[in-house]
Amino acid sequence: MNLSVTWFGRDVNIVNDFITAIEKRRGYSARNRISISVYTNHKWFFTGDIPLRPFTSIFIDQRTIDAILYNLEKFYTSRQWYADHGIPYRYGILLSGPPGTGKTSMIKAAASYFNKPLYILPVDRIAEIDEAFSSAYEDAILVIEDIDSAKSAQKRREKNDNGFFQQISPGNHGLDLKAESLSSILNSIDGITAKDGRVLIMSTNHKENIDPALLRPGRIDLDVEIGYITDESFRKFIRVFYEKECTEKLKHEIHVTGAQLQNECVTSHLTYEQILDKYTSR
């Protein structure tokens, strides 16, 4: 389809601004930027661009990064294969782990690597998921962070005869309104009307609280746990922030996140020697 635009005057900025607005609406990311849109008031709103996030700047083991890149690359290059095998062309990833371990950074880095815009559905808008997903730009990466904090996504529970809560059994049909909300989430992710071509990434600090129905294969195709800093990711951090090669091993009792290490450098101003003394067993 061709579109002709006519305007009066010689100021081409009017047309350039118009084109830019359309590109942003369609999820176009400017050079070296990631386009971000957030769903609110029943609409997707473009909220701005953020710089690309390279994988060298996130402190996660390379094996985890490689697994995510390999599976997304496989998905993005296999549309015809999905069609030939009658499989809906959709992909879901769950990132789980303690706060500050790099889940959000991983999402930004993946969007940067594949040059995809991010469409973020706030968890407090989860009731509008069907409308949000159906109106999102097809080629975007859809994001729901902290999915475990949505009551409708938590494990279904009921009171037993003693007044204590227990998980609802598969044969129990006395599901409450929350269960109906969960059904809406599930149908939006992989129901008949679910849109093809999308990647959904959800993050959680408490995977154990999520209803198993939300995690089954076909809804979540790749389940990735992002844990505390390891020897490998610590060396990566030292290389980025101190420009040194470190061969020391972390203390066995240390459970530290990448966010904490970054704070030690940026806010506490720990020197290279101080950070080794604090976290390694040298």
Q: What is the DSSP string of 219-233?
A: T-SEEEE--S--HHH
Q: For residue 177, name the pLDDT band (cuts at 50, 70, 90).
A: very low
In angstroms, the Cα distances linking 7 to 16, 72, 252 are 12, 43, 68
Kindly tell me if the per-residue pLDDT of 270 is higher than 50. Answer: yes
> Taking the domains of the chain in order of start, what are their residue ranges?
29-225, 231-279
> CATH fold of 29-225, please?
Rossmann fold (3.40.50)
pLDDT of residue 138: 83
Lowest mean pLDDT among 1-5, 125-129, 155-159: 155-159
* pTM for the full predicted model: 0.83
Average pLDDT, the chain: 85
Beta strand pairing call for 141-144 and 118-120: parallel
pLDDT over 80 at 178, yes or no: no
With 0-12 CB in 10 A as exposed, 13-18 as middle and 19+ as buried, what is 119?
Answer: buried
- Helices 272-279 & 231-242 angle (0-180, nearest 10): 170
Say whether pLDDT at 82 is over 70.
Answer: yes
Q: Which amino acid is at 280?
A: T
Return the closest-CA partner of residue 214 out of 146, 169, 148, 168: 148
What pLDDT score does 187 carry?
A: 84
At residue 124, the 3 state secondary structure works out as helix
**pLDDT value at residue 10:** 72
